[in-house]
Amino acid sequence: MTLVLTASVLETLADMPATIAAVEHAFAAIAEGGACQPAPTSLHLPSSDGRFILMSGLGDAEGLAGVKLLADIPANRDAGLPTQRSSIVLSDQQTGECLALLDGRVPTRVRTAAASAVASKYLARPNSSTLGLIGAGALAVAHVEAMLSVLPIDTVVVWSRSAATVEAFRAKISHLPVKVVAAGAIRDVVEAADVLCTLTPSVEPLVRGEWFLPGLHVNAVGARPRPTHREIDSEGMARSSLFVDSIATVTEKSGDLLMAVSDGAVAVGDIRGELGQVVAGQVPGRRDDADITLFNSVGIGMQDVAVGRLLYDAAVQRGLGVRVDMAG
């Protein structure tokens, strides 16, 4: 039987600390050979700007194979529809049974923030107390929740094009023990932050490397999975010690990296390592307190497998979701 889990059900099951631990383990497993993480497949035709991206993973610890189909359709914005939608299929590693079908919105949001938290745990200065956010939507809320699990964050400096979005963000995290400062400019956020998270679907770079101060850690998260979209300019990439979730993934669909390579600012060989290698102790992370580190987070299938295992188990334990006999 296949368990179908909708977004509303998944909202009740999400557990950020557990997701961070699961994602951290998944990163290490990739480096140590306990998980298979292939490069993504991007499907597109000249007839539209839409892309359909297959993200997969297979993990021994999770006992699952998983595939997410991500539809990235910018034109949906004009129709008032979500520009990204996704679904995740989880299959039993031993029997191949289709265990679950999950709406992808909640798992993607939670595991993305969890990946940033893992990167910050290993790459940011341990005493980092100010979190900077470029963007103030649902992903920003998730990032505050995640960072509080790994660092002594007491201040959040946030920028958005919309003052109303910032006020909504402030209300959504009012229960958390942080001071919120609304910045008037992106530069103000960058220069105030110990940890900076860029969370916008920007095409042109919003963040300039000339603003980076010694000791900064950056999680570059928001750009769409396209080789021509980026949030960080080439100087920012060149000034940073670069770490990625997957070299195969970023060289396929990270505009932050590929456009900096095209500009001659960096080379793929400048990547210091994958995050899983840092977690597993195979590659050193931050060199010293003055080092500027950057985690290029594009998203990988094993993150979905890791959070999928948690959500599926929680749903089974609580008797939630709808069971469907797919073979019937």
* 76 shares a domain with 132: no
The one-letter amino acid at 15: D
Tokens matching residue 80: 């008032």
Q: Is residue 128 part of a domain?
A: yes
Report the mean per-residue pLDDT for the chain.
Answer: 96
* 171 shares a domain with 306: no
pLDDT tens digit sequence for 231-246 = 999 999 999 999 999 9
Query: What is the CATH number for 165?
Result: 3.40.50.720
Predicted confidence band at 252 (pLDDT cuts at 50, 70, 90)?
confident
DSSP-assigned letter for residue 47 = T
Query: What is the CATH number for 79?
Result: 3.30.1780.10
Predicted confidence band at 226 (pLDDT cuts at 50, 70, 90)?
confident
DSSP per-residue letters across 102-145: EESHHHHHHHHHHHHHHHHHHHS-TT--EEEEE--SHHHHHHHH
Nearest to 246 by CA among 257, 238, 237: 257
* 146 shares a domain with 64: no
Examine the pLDDT at 219 and tell me if it is beyond 90. Answer: yes
* 287 shares a domain with 138: yes
Q: Is residue 257 part of a domain?
A: yes
pLDDT tens digit sequence for 36-94 = 999 999 999 999 989 999 999 999 999 999 999 999 998 998 899 999 999 999 999 99
* 258 shares a domain with 173: yes
Domain count, the chain: 2
pLDDT tens digit sequence for 149-188 = 999 999 999 999 999 999 999 999 999 999 999 999 999 9
pLDDT tens digit sequence for 19-31 = 999 999 999 999 9
Catalytically annotated residues: 68
Among 16-20, 66-70, 227-231, 278-282, where is mean pLDDT lowest?
227-231
Per-residue pLDDT averaged across 282-290, rounded? Answer: 97
Per-residue pLDDT averaged across 107-130, rounded? Answer: 98
* 249 shares a domain with 133: yes
**Cα separation, 88 vs 107, whole angstroms:** 9
* 190 shares a domain with 94: no
pLDDT tens digit sequence for 305-318 = 999 999 999 999 99
Domain that residue 312 falls in: 2-107+302-324
Residue 238 burial by Cβ neighbours in a 10 Å radius (0-12, 13-18, 19+): middle
Examine the pLDDT at 207 and tell me if it is beyond 90. Answer: yes
* 320 shares a domain with 283: no
